[in-house]
Structures are given as C-alpha cells and as structure tokens.
Structure 1
Amino acid sequence: MLHITIFCNYIKFHTTFPKIVVTFLNKMSQFTLISLLFITINLTLYAAARVAGNHHNNNGKTTMILPLYNSIPKNASRRYLQSSRLPNARMKLHDDLLRNGYYTTRLWIGTPPQRFALIVDTGSTVTYVPCATCQQCGRHQDPKFQPDESSTYHPVKCNVDCTCDNERENCIYERQYAEMSSSSGVLGEDIVSFGNLSELVPQRAVFGCENVETGDLYSQHADGIIGLGRGDLSIVDQLVDKKVISDSFSLCYGGMDIGGGAMVLGGLSPPPDMVFSNSDPGRSPYYNIELKELHVAGKMLPLNPQVFNGKHGTVLDSGTTYAYLPEAAYLAFKDAIIQELHSLKQIPGPDPNYHDVCFSGAGSEVSELSKTFPAVDMVFVKKQKLTLSPENYLFRHGKVRGAYCLGIFQNGKDPTTLLGGIVVRNTLVTYDREKDKIGFWKTKCSELWQRLQLSGASPPISAGSEKTNSTAGISPTVAPSGPQETNTSGKQNIELITFSISLSINITSLEPRISELTEAISKELGANTSQVHLVNFLSDGNGTLLKWSVSPAGSATYMSNDTATDMISRLGEQKMHLPESFGSYKLVEWNAKLTPKRTWRQQHIAAVLASVLAMLILGLSAGGAWYIFRRHKQQSATSYKPVDAAVPEQELQPLQPL
C-alpha cells in the first residue's frame, strides 16, 4: 500500500503529466494501480529487450527476453549475457612439449608493455611472473617485472576477501604443485596485452608478482605460468567477468615433429566433426571428461568404466607433460600395446632410474609410426570417440635412434586419470565452459587456421602481417607476436629477429654449455646477452638445431634496419666466429618481424634485405656448404620426472573473489 502511494506522489510531483491523469490515478482502485504498475514495468522491459533484440536480429540472432530478476547470479550472467560475436585473443604457442616439458605463450604486462614467456596451464588458476623485488627467483627467459616502470600498475590492497601479508597492506597468493615446487608473492593489477594477432584489446587484470619460487619453477627457462583453470584469479574468469570474451578457450599443441601451436582465449566456431565430452564443473575443480572405454587396435580393454571415475575423475591438464592412468587401466593398456608389437624389440629406457617401456626398430619417420604402433581410441558417453595416433602416447628414446617409449604411466596409488599434453598433440581442444563440454578435433596445429577454414568452421580472425623468410626450402616459422608499437619518429623498424642455425656438435655435449654459446653469439652479432634468447634446441643424429631470438636492447621497442641487416648478414655470410669446440654452423632460416604500418621505403628495405639473404644462401648452396636439417624433436634422457602421485596443481588455500 505504501509503495502505491509513493508511486502516485512521484508521478504528481516529478512528472509533467496533465492534471487529468493525476486525478484519474487518485480515483483508481489499488488493484488497478498494481496491475498498471506491473504492465508498465513489463512493457518497459519488453521494449528494451526488443531494442536489444533488433540489433541481434540484424545479425541473424533471435530476440531474448530476460526474466524479471532483481539480479542475475554470477554463473548465470556468463550464460545469458555472453555474445557469440565477442572478440577473442589469438595467441601463438612456443617451445616443445617433451624437450621443455611444457608449451609457453607470450603475454605483455604494464605500460609500456613488459614481455613474458608463460607456461600454458589449465590446472592452475593464477597467472604470475617474477617480480623485481624477488629475492628467490631463478634466471628465466625474460627480465623480471618492474612494477615501478609501469604507469598503470596498482597493488591489490588487503581486504576481507583475500589473504593478506604480515603488514596487512597487500593481498598475497601462494601455490604449491605436485612436483613439490611452489610460488608465492603479492597480487597486483595492470594492463595485460595479448599480442598483435588478437582481436581482444589490452585489459586490466589481476596477476601474481612473485617473491619466492622453489623447485622446477626456480630452474625452468619459462618466466612463469598463465593460469587457465577455474577460479576468480584465472585469466579466463577475469576476462569472462568483464564480458569481453565468451566463456570458452582453446588450445592446439604441436606434434612430435613440429612443436609450437596456437591458443584462443574466447570462442571460436567448432569444426563440424569435432568430438565432444561432457565436463562437469561440480565433479572436480579441474577440467574433466567422461571417459568410459579405452580401445587398443580396435579392441576394448576389459575394464570397468568406473576405473576412470576415481577421485577427480578423468582430468585434462595442459601443464602436465605425460598421461597417468590408475593401476588397473595402466596394466591393461601396457599389455595390449605389447601384444600388438610383435615385430619390435623391447629395450630399456633412456634413464636407468626409471622402468620405461620402450621399443626399437620402428624407424625415425613420425608419419610411418601408425604402420607399426596401434591406434588407441578414447570413448566417451554416447560412444563419442577420439582416436589417438602413436605420437599421442609415445615419446622418442633419447639414446637409441628409431626407438620409442610409452608416454603413459601408472599414477601411483592415486585413482585419478590424468591426461597431460602428450595425449592432445596435434589436437584442437576447446574448453566450452559455458556449455560444460570439451571438444576434440584432430588437426595439424601448425596449420590450424587454414584447416579450420577448409573444415567449414570460421577462423577466429585473419592473420596479422609479419615478414617471414626461409632458406633452402625450409618452411618458415612465424615470429612471436607482440603488441603493435611504432617508434616516435613514425618510421617502421624491426621488433624482433628469430633465426635457426644447425651446429655439428651433438646435443649431449652442447646442453651444459648453452650459456657460453649465448655469450659467443651475442658478441659476434654485436648484441648484449640480454637481447639474445634461446627459444628451442633439437637433436638429430650428431648435430643440433637451435632457434634463437634477438630483441631490441634495453627498454627499446625496436631495432633499426641497419642493425638488423648487419646481424642477418653476419649469419648468412658465415661471419660469426664461434669457438672451435662448438663445431661449424649453418643458417637454416630467419624471420624479421617489422613494426606495423610500413611505408614504401620500409617495404623496399625489407624486400632488399630478403633478396640479399636469398642470394647469400643460394651462393652457399652452390658451393656445397649447405644442407637441409631434418627437423626431428629428440627426447633427452632426463627430460621428465615421474611423480609419486600425479595430480593437477594444488592450491595451498582458496582465494575469495577480489
């Protein structure tokens, strides 16, 4: 009753309604007023919905009328308010799964942006990088994050929703992982950029600024981790909560021959033949699938389907290298594989400390492995099936050429089924969190965007413009992407140089001397050691293929054309004089990534640069000094560490929303 009186008084004194309308309202019954009020509200909401709906109808969408709720729960808002036309962040993946144990992507934080190589991890919920204040951080790929040099950085102040430091000033985070490594530090907020291949513009996000790291996190080459798991601090959750991407992301890991790959934060149109499994967020805090059967060579393993449902169920974790099965499933799988390999000889593994199951005599061509090793089928609910190629369950023996080992192990006494990155090599995996399902599509991840177009699915965006060159028939690799920056003079210069060289020294002798080699190359190119970074190195026979990147010096965002031309010329003309102990080297390929908006003069310089280098390489080829390095990833003897209980990364304590 009081509400109706207030409504009438508001109309009397705060509108320009004619007096006759006010008189009419005063004489109306309370029931009629209530009805009028209800109709008015619904008509208003209907009109608003029609306006919003008309916009979508122009794009072929249907009108959606929202219910009359006072507020929409957090999870529901993701389902009702997300648009399929939202932008996404298309990002490249780098490194190699079995050489490094992980894949990384590039993220830029701060103003001006500071670049970091971060491990892609669906089992972690926090994104963090080493902080300038860190007293216990290892030497990583890039310099530590400098909060004082970013004009947009703000620490997350202590509040009731987070764990605070001892001074009760800032929020902190702490994370501990299955291999007994850990990370801790303070939480900060800054501008995060996703690279110039992304539609998504830079966004403010909360991340961890590390002060202490231990174990593998201390010794790894990568700078930190990008957390893609479920949680308020996850980069995915933060972008979804801002309503700048749809509630989905995708990963595509490269294969045994070609590493790298692609990542998409946000939605993409799935290929028509993508295979899906349900993923229940209430079943586990991790991304799970409903695995029911395993088939080897078309024969179903004699297992109770519940064997894949223990503890956390069947979990996908991109931050784990291999796969781990419960004891019964592992023994059945191993026996079935052995029974199919009558023509191969079982041999000891590369490391005597571990009882790897390995086989020799298969040959070195990955494309031929399916002629020797059986296909493995993962069967989901409703008989949806994902077929695994040999590269999805094998890794190369580090000491015997043409030998391979099972990359699927027993998960100790833990009943969880843990599927690491090896299982989804050359597979597009879409984590559709909005619809609680995960999709799988077999593809060559190095050709993902072209294959998506051929399949009839819409690619996320068109590719950016990058200058790429290759030599002697070697396929070029795309240079890492970064925020688009132009120098203050308006002229376009070179943001990054990447190049691959082959050395005649074998990988075993070379690996402990990488720092020495970096210093030698830096000196020969006239660069600082902080500019030259080893991206990857691979073994084949008695030689080693190494991929390097050269970034601008200091805080600069570009190199001059003269500097870049001199560096590449020294490489192409064999003018680098490395110590004799490293053997001879050959330039395999090079990439020069230029700043955007090239002028005619800059394009001309780039074309001349490419022509000069092509002539140099042709000259070397004619002289008999060139050979094509066959790109095969080689598994080292100690590049993995079985864990006692392989489970996704565990958090020391839950963190409430900030």
Structure 2
Amino acid sequence: MGLSASLLLVSLLILPLAGDAAFRTPRSSVTWSSMAGNSEAMVLPLFFSHPNSTRRSTPSSPVIRSYRRDLQGKSSSAANAHMRLYDDLLTNGYYTTRLLIGTPPQEFALIVDSGSTVTYVPCSSCEQCGNHQDPRFQPDMSSTYEPVRCSIDCTCNPDNTQCTYERQYAEMSSSSGVLGEDIVSFGKESALAPQKAVFGCETSETGDLFNQHADGIMGLGRGRLSIMDQLVDKGVISDSFSLCYGGMDIGGGAMVLGGMPLPIDMVFSRSDPVRSPYYNIELREIQVSRKSLHLSPSVFDGKHGTILDSGTTFAYLPKEAFVAFKDAITRNLRLKQIPGPDPNYKDICFSGAGSDIPQLSKFFPDVVMIFGDGQKLPLSPENYLFRHSRVHGAYCLGVFQNGNDPTTLLGGIIVRNTLVTYDRHNQRIGFWKTNCSELWKRLNIDVAPYPAPSASNNGNALENLSPALSPSGLQNFNLPGQYKIGVITFDISLSVEYSDLEPHIKDFTELIARELQVDISQVHLTHFARTGNSTLIRCAISPSGSDFISSTAATRIISRLTEHRIQFPANFGNYSLVKWDIEPSKRSWWQEHLQGIVVGVAVAVVVVIFLSTLLTLYFWRSKPGAYRHVNAAFPEQELQPM
C-alpha cells in the first residue's frame, strides 16, 4: 500500500478459493523458457513530479556500459510502455503511475505497490470516497465494462449480483467495493496491446486512502487479483517485474512488467512464496561501518520474515534489531541530535550534515545487508535517512521499531536508487545499485526528461526553459534554487468556443488559481484567441508578497502544467497546454532585499526576546501530513481474496 505502511494489526480470516490459497505454491503452468520467447516486457518510466536537484547523471562505469550493451542486444523486440511515475517518498510517501481503464479510456493515478494484490479506483457510485487527483471511474461510460458476477468463489454484495473486495492497512485505512472487468492499458506509448483485467471499483474508503491525492492502488503482489498474476496467466508477460526508485534528491525511475536482462553483478536473495504470501527475502545480518550488529539470524525471520514492500515508505525492524541498528548508527556520529519534525513521533534526527546528498557518507556510516547465501547489498545514507522537513541540513532515521511485531518490513526508502527485480518464477529478488533517474539511458529508451539548466548558465539558462511542448505535453522539469522568477506565462487551449467561455472567465481564473495553488490575485488572463471551435488563452502568474516567484514555487507550477494535472469541469471542455515561458526577476539585489533589511533591523530586538518561545510553539503545533510512519507495519491483510 502506498501510504505509510502496507497492512494489518489484526490477523483476520483468509478465505481461500478454488485453486488459490493464501500461502501460494510456485506457479507450475508457466516456465521462464517458454514465456521469455513469446511474451513482451512492459517498460514503464517513473518520474518525480517535483525533482529538486539538477544532478541528473553519474559517471558510466564499465559495468554500466556492459549492461547497456546487453540491454540493447537482447531487448530490441521487447514492448515498451513509456509511463511516468509522479510524486515521491518525501512529499507523498508513495510513487504513482498512470493507468487507463475502459473504452474510451479513463485515466487514473495509482500507487505502485508490491504489497497489495488488488488494483482499485474510486467508483462513480462511491458514497464515501475522497477528492482525488482524477474523476472517478464511471462504469456506465465504458462500453467494455462488465461486473464480476457473484459465485461461490467470492463474497457477494447485498443483492448477491456482484463480487466484492475489502482491504485494510496498518495506518487503519481501508478500501472496499465491487469487482469489475474492463480493458486496461498502460498509455499511448505502450507496445503491449490493452488487456482485459479484473479490478476493484471502490464504494468506500477510510483513513489515509480517503485523504490521499492519488486515486487508488496498482496491486503487484501475489494473488489472483494482482495485475501481475493476471497478465502472466494470459501469457503476455513473463513472471517477473522490476522497480527502480529515484534517490533522495534526484527524480526519475522505472518500472518493468515482465522479464528483462539483468546486470551481471546484481545480488540476489531467495524469496519463498510458501513461507509468506508477501515478497520476502532471507536477511541474515546487518553491518554498520563494517561491523556486525551481532544478532541471531532468527531475529529477521519472525512471523512473516523479512518483507519487501514498495508501497511502504519506511523500514521497520523487530525491537532487538532496531535498538542495535539505532545504537550502531548514532554511536560515532559527531552531529547534533535535534527533535524530529512531528512531536507525535520520537524521530531520531541530526543537524549539521549539509544539503549535498553524495556528501552524507562523510557524516553517516555505510550499512550493508547480508542475505542467506552471503551476498551483500550496500546501503548509502539515503537508504536509511529522510530529510528533516523543518531544519535545513538535518536528517532523520527512516528505520523504526515495528511495535511488538517480529516481522521485518523494508519499504521504499531502503531501495532508493536500486533496481529491484522480483523474479517470481525463479523465486528470488535481485538488487542492483544504480542511478534510477538515468535508467532509461541504460535501457536504450529515448524518453530522457527535458534537460535542466546548469548552475553555471546564469540568466541565459532561463531562456532555454521555454520550449513549445511536444504532442504528448509531458515534461520533467526543475529549476536551480538560485533562480528568481518574475512572471510565468503559458498558453492553454480549451475545446469550447469563446462565446461559451466568456460568461465564466471569473470561474476559470479561480480554477487556475486553485489548481496551481496560487492566490487568485496572481492570475492574469492577458490574451484570448479563437481557433475554430476552441479558445486559446494566455495566462500569466505574477509574484505575490515578494517581488519574485521562488524556484520551488515555479517548479511546482510548471510541473502541474506540463504533467496535465489540472482538472477542469465539463463546461470548460478538454484542454491542452500549448507552451509555457518564464521571465526572470529584473530587480537588483538591493531592490529585492533593502526593505527586508530595514524591517529586519527594526524588529531585531523583539525577535531576539521571543525567538525561542515562538519557534518552540511553531514546531510543536505544526504537523506535516504525508511523510510519517506507523507504530507497527504489516503487509496487506487479505480479508477476501478472489
């Protein structure tokens, strides 16, 4: 599940169906050799929506060059589905990808989750669903939708006409609804033909599921409702998939559904499908600064063992392992320990490490996980730390005690910048440290994001950041932190005539302000043009309060525009972004700062007197919403598998 952790506190009764038990045995009807020859892998690019670093590449090592040649030589016939992954672990606690369901297709942002076994979206009939990123799924609007009729193999709705599902998660959220079948596709760039698949149509959701921005879940776990199992059963992909998440500071990533050539130095751990219905690994030891924690291997083998879950944000260890790990990390640190960002949690945080992620290894120790056969997976500081949201240059431990539960659960933070291959057929999981934002180059897929400006380009770099959009309209975008933006302009085309739009100009302006998260006073409509039955509008976003728009705000605005994340009601028709532009602030340094300096001097005495009190009150009363952990983490609870 893509919230703080994937599922639940109480073991509930699992209802196995014919041919499908909760603890699955290896699939015997599909072999790697037969699948690899006649099926195609779907390659899905994953991108952050708000990348905050201009570092986009790392030196190409001999291993990387060899891997690139292997991929080019062996994957030329593979079908590629080019899909972006939006959001990130720090801001949202999850990654999402775009999935299209129905005829004509209806698009949804779904959390990529290896710990869930059902794909579900909010249904138009839902009476308790939150306000999510996209409109709800409308079964009546799809000519290919069919309800999954009630049978002895499923729990039925009150009318005994349609199968239902129900899922609960560790943070006490839940999803329930009916099961339907429809055409599912992975974007216009996918070479894999759309496939019929069973999915959940939500009629109720609670907790974080109700409040999250994402629409629903894309279930990649083991189970008959899993999108992976359905595609494998149809023979269209081999029984394997891979995920590659970007790092703490660098956007980008990839998801591959189906087999792919693997790096020669990828390390593997056995994954036993009989031991647990979840994806597990044989973790035997953890080393910190090359020193063992001196724990018995059985510590990591309690209950479900060690579970790998892409939808969980953090990592959770049994008490004994957590205490040993925490002590080993903090023992030799020369940083100042500070309170965490949320007073509801006793986070272990340190300040003084700076903002340069590659330099964190100078302040924090390296960690190594050792698997059952002795293979080692090195972890850098970004694999066990997260940024403090209130103190610059401070970081907190992203590994927590898993309550009193003996299960070890490793979330997305552990596999940042790591290609993870879930080789289900061979019952193993592989790990390969890499720059996930650059994975597409190694896959020989030309979908590189629009180049970010170099810090050495100064003002001229801004001139290169105003391209006309490609037909797809999707751009990966960021700005260096030192740029101060004067005005952001963009041209947007609406599929309505101007005469129909004119009475609603005020509503349109308010909608733009709300969707771009700016004040309505910042939105200016500067030009209108009729183009057949459409209307072309030029909008300008001006600064508010200060005399410039920060690079962070500009990145957010441009990302929402280029990723087509603006939602218009039906009376505005469909829209397309034609082009965008940014104009740097023309004010001098003294113009920008003189007023602030004068005001700062005037209130300095007052600030000195009350600073400590004000900071304390602000800190302990403010609560960040997305990036948090739970007291105990479990994989998804199968209340009613199909």
- What is the TM-score normalised by the length of structure 1? 0.68
Q: Which residue of the partner structure matches residue 75 of structure 1? A: 27
Q: Which residue of the partner structure matches residue 167 of structure 2? A: 175
Cα contact 2:147–2:181 (8 A) shared by 1: yes
Residue 417 of structure 2 is aligned to residue 426 of structure 1:
yes
Cα contact 1:493–1:561 (8 A) shared by 2: no
User: 1:164 deviation in Å?
Assistant: 1.1
Q: Which residue of the partner structure matches residue 378 of structure 1? A: 369
Cα contact 1:90–1:197 (8 A) shared by 2: no
Q: 1:273 to 1:500 in 2, by over 3 A?
A: closer
Counterparts of 1:531 and 1:154, CA distance in 2: 39
Counterparts of 1:219 and 1:336, CA distance in 2: 37
Q: Which residue of the partner structure matches residue 17 of structure 1? A: none
Q: Which residue of the partner structure matches residue 584 of structure 2? A: 620
The size of the alignment, in residue pairs, is 494
User: 1:319 deviation in Å?
Assistant: 1.1
- Residue 378 of structure 1 aligns to which amino acid in structure 2? M
User: 1:289 deviation in Å?
Assistant: 0.4
User: 1:359 deviation in Å?
Assistant: 1.1
Report which stretch shifted further, 174-183 or 258-267.
258-267
Counterparts of 2:146 and 2:382, CA distance in 1: 45
- Residue 180 of structure 1 aligns to which amino acid in structure 2? M
Counterparts of 1:503 and 1:583, CA distance in 2: 13
Q: 1:465 to 1:149 in 2, by over 3 A?
A: farther
Q: Secondary structure at the match of 2:201?
A: strand
Q: Which residue of the partner structure matches residue 396 of structure 2? A: 405
Judging by fraction of residues, say which structure has more helix: 1
Q: Which residue of the partner structure matches residue 251 of structure 1? A: 243
Cα contact 1:163–1:171 (8 A) shared by 2: yes
Counterparts of 1:621 and 1:276, CA distance in 2: 52
Matches within 5 A, 1:52-451: 75-79=27-31, 81-84=34-37, 86-91=39-44, 92-341=84-333, 343-450=334-441
Q: Choose from 462, 471, 475 the match for 2:445.
A: 462
Q: Secondary structure at the match of 2:90?
A: helix
Q: 1:448 to 1:563 in 2, by over 3 A?
A: farther
Q: Secondary structure at the match of 2:36?
A: coil
Counterparts of 1:97 and 1:106, CA distance in 2: 17
Counterparts of 1:296 and 1:593, CA distance in 2: 41
Counterparts of 2:415 and 2:383, CA distance in 1: 6
Q: 1:409 to 1:270 in 2, by over 3 A?
A: same
Cα contact 2:278–2:307 (8 A) shared by 1: yes
Deviations along 1:78-120, one digit per CA (max 9) or x if unpaired, are 2264125521222232111021011111101111111100011
Q: Secondary structure at the match of 1:446?
A: helix
Counterparts of 2:534 and 2:623, CA distance in 1: 36
Q: 1:563 to 1:124 in 2, by over 3 A?
A: same
Cα contact 1:324–1:408 (8 A) shared by 2: yes
Counterparts of 1:172 and 1:255, CA distance in 2: 38
Cα contact 2:26–2:425 (8 A) shared by 1: no
Q: Secondary structure at the match of 1:352?
A: coil
Q: 1:170 to 1:309 in 2, by over 3 A?
A: same
Counterparts of 1:420 and 1:466, CA distance in 2: 26
Counterparts of 2:157 and 2:246, CA distance in 1: 41
Cα contact 2:176–2:205 (8 A) shared by 1: yes
Deviations along 1:226-285, one digit per CA (max 9) or x if unpaired, are 000000000000000000001011111111112442111111111111111110000101
Q: 1:113 to 1:654 in 2, by over 3 A?
A: closer
Greater Rg over alpha carbons, structure: 1
Q: Which residue of the partner structure matches residue 631 of structure 2? A: 644
- Residue 77 of structure 1 aligns to which amino acid in structure 2? S
Deviations along 1:135-167, one digit per CA (max 9) or x if unpaired, are 100000000001111111111111222211111
Cα contact 1:153–1:189 (8 A) shared by 2: yes
Q: 1:302 to 1:467 in 2, by over 3 A?
A: closer
Q: Secondary structure at the match of 1:75?
A: coil
- Residue 130 of structure 1 aligns to which amino acid in structure 2? P
Deviations along 1:548-568, one digit per CA (max 9) or x if unpaired, are xxxxxxxxxxx989989855x
Q: 1:275 to 1:469 in 2, by over 3 A?
A: closer
Q: 1:178 to 1:186 in 2, by over 3 A?
A: same
User: 1:581 deviation in Å?
Assistant: 8.8
Deviations along 1:381-408, one digit per CA (max 9) or x if unpaired, are 2210000000000011122211111100
Q: 1:121 to 1:303 in 2, by over 3 A?
A: same
Cα contact 1:191–1:203 (8 A) shared by 2: yes
Q: 1:74 to 1:442 in 2, by over 3 A?
A: closer
Cα contact 1:397–1:637 (8 A) shared by 2: no
Q: Secondary structure at the match of 1:386?
A: strand
Q: Which residue of the partner structure matches residue 603 of structure 1? A: none
Q: 1:493 to 1:373 in 2, by over 3 A?
A: closer
Deviations along 1:611-646, one digit per CA (max 9) or x if unpaired, are xx6xx65x6377769x9xxxxxxx974434432321
User: 1:214 deviation in Å?
Assistant: 0.5
User: 1:585 deviation in Å?
Assistant: 5.3
Counterparts of 1:111 and 1:78, CA distance in 2: 30
Q: Secondary structure at the match of 1:78?
A: coil
- Residue 576 of structure 1 aligns to which amino acid in structure 2? I
Q: 1:496 to 1:358 in 2, by over 3 A?
A: closer
Q: 1:365 to 1:593 in 2, by over 3 A?
A: closer
- Residue 110 of structure 2 aligns to which amino acid in structure 1? L
Q: Secondary structure at the match of 2:400?
A: strand
Matches within 5 A, 1:480-629: 529=511, 566-567=537-538, 570=539, 575-577=540-542, 580=545, 584=549, 587=554, 620=584
Q: Which residue of the partner structure matches residue 601 of structure 1? A: none
Unaligned runs of 5+ in 2: 1-24, 45-83, 454-458, 483-503, 519-529, 565-575, 593-621
Deviations along 1:438-477, one digit per CA (max 9) or x if unpaired, are 0101111110122x3xxxxxx3x73359888879648999
Deviations along 1:492-526, one digit per CA (max 9) or x if unpaired, are 9565677768999xxxxxxxxxxxxxxxxx97995
Q: Which residue of the partner structure matches residue 49 of structure 1? A: none
Q: Which protein, 1 or 2, shows the higher relative CO under an 8 Å CA cutoff with sep ≥ 6? A: 2
Q: 1:475 to 1:107 in 2, by over 3 A?
A: farther
Counterparts of 2:193 and 2:272, CA distance in 1: 31
Aligned sequence identity (%): 59
Cα contact 1:140–1:223 (8 A) shared by 2: yes
Q: Secondary structure at the match of 2:180?
A: strand
- Residue 180 of structure 2 aligns to which amino acid in structure 1? G
Q: 1:409 to 1:592 in 2, by over 3 A?
A: closer
User: 1:338 deviation in Å?
Assistant: 1.0
- What is the TM-score normalised by the length of structure 2? 0.69
What is the CA RMSD across the aligned residues, in angstroms?
3.9
